[in-house]
A and B are shown apart, each in its own frame.
Chain A
């Protein structure tokens, strides 16, 4: 086991004779100071691992934080026969890769939104200049509505619909529970729907109006 039978002084001068594994076992009893010693010993390496995947210091520090928080939350499931540092490093690599996917998903979502808008406006008037204009307006409206969502809702929707990740993987990527992801998806969909309906009323365009104008549309009371 690493660090056994010797006192290890870490990044912040926290000295503790216990091995990583003994410290992490203490964490199971809720000992946050023991975990702080582990952070002390491993933070620089975890941050560097994330930086090597992400290439961005701020994102690497966010991923490092997510890795340690995930390790803390998973302390009950950790098997003592596994070396703590190896386990932690694997978590860090996975968190960094997930974060890199989130970053990549955002620009790709623009193209997908345009395709969705194209599908919504298919119909006889598609070739018309007006239809083209409306189609682009629908795409812009969708983009704007998505862009105005709270970060967590936008991330969840993007990963679910555009990256096609499962809820469990999204939860890992975002550092929250599966239940929280489902809630974010539900609220995100509802917010998008409400905003798009409101936009349709204001501007008079939207998927239905492009396909075919309903009878009586345009009349004034």
Chain B
């Protein structure tokens, strides 16, 4: 999978890779492993999705506390 196809599939399927067909998800992960441009695009689409779809994450403070304890 190249960046252009990745972008097209992101627009079509959204950024939740567990909802992609298995082989396409694996190809996307391979691209994300090697391409910072793909990572940046993935982050951009994820940022656009926050608050639009399900699971806003709820209260983040317990996780933030856990991170602080592990620094």
* Residues in A lying within 8 Å of B, measured CB to CB: 11-12, 32, 35-36, 39-40, 43-45, 47-49, 51-55, 57, 61, 64-65, 68-69, 72, 86, 89-90, 93-94, 97, 100
Contact = CB atoms under 8 A, between A and B. Distances in A.
A39 B42 contact: no
Contacts of A65: 63, 66-67, 70
A51 B50 CA distance: 11
B43 A53 contact: no
Given A48-B50, A53-B29, A69 B63 contact: no
Contacts of A47: 57, 60, 63
A89 to B, nearest CB: 4
Given A53-B17, A90-B36, A43 B43 contact: no
B23 interface: no
Top 7 nearest A-B pairs (CB, nearest first) are A55-B18, A89-B43, A52-B15, A93-B39, A68-B67, A90-B39, A43-B60
B2 to A, nearest CB: 18
B50 A44 contact: yes
19 contacts: A11-B64, A39-B67, A43-B63, A43-B67, A44-B56, A45-B47, A45-B50, A48-B50, A54-B18, A64-B63, A64-B67, A65-B66, A65-B70, A69-B67, A69-B71, A90-B36, A93-B39, A94-B33, A94-B39
Given A39-B68, A45-B50, A89-B40, A97 B33 contact: yes
| A interface majority secondary structure | helix
Interface residues of B, number: 29
Nearest to A83: B40
A11 B67 CA distance: 14
Contacts of B49: 48
A208 to B, nearest CB: 40
B43 A49 contact: yes
With a 10 A CB-CB cut-off, give which of B32, B39, B49, B56 has the most chain A CB atoms.
B39
Interface in B17-61: 17-19, 29, 32-33, 36, 39-40, 42-43, 46-47, 49-50, 55-57, 60-61
Given A43-B63, A45-B46, 15 more contacts: A12-B64, A32-B71, A35-B71, A43-B67, A44-B50, A47-B57, A48-B57, A49-B42, A53-B32, A57-B55, A65-B67, A69-B71, A90-B39, A90-B40, A93-B43
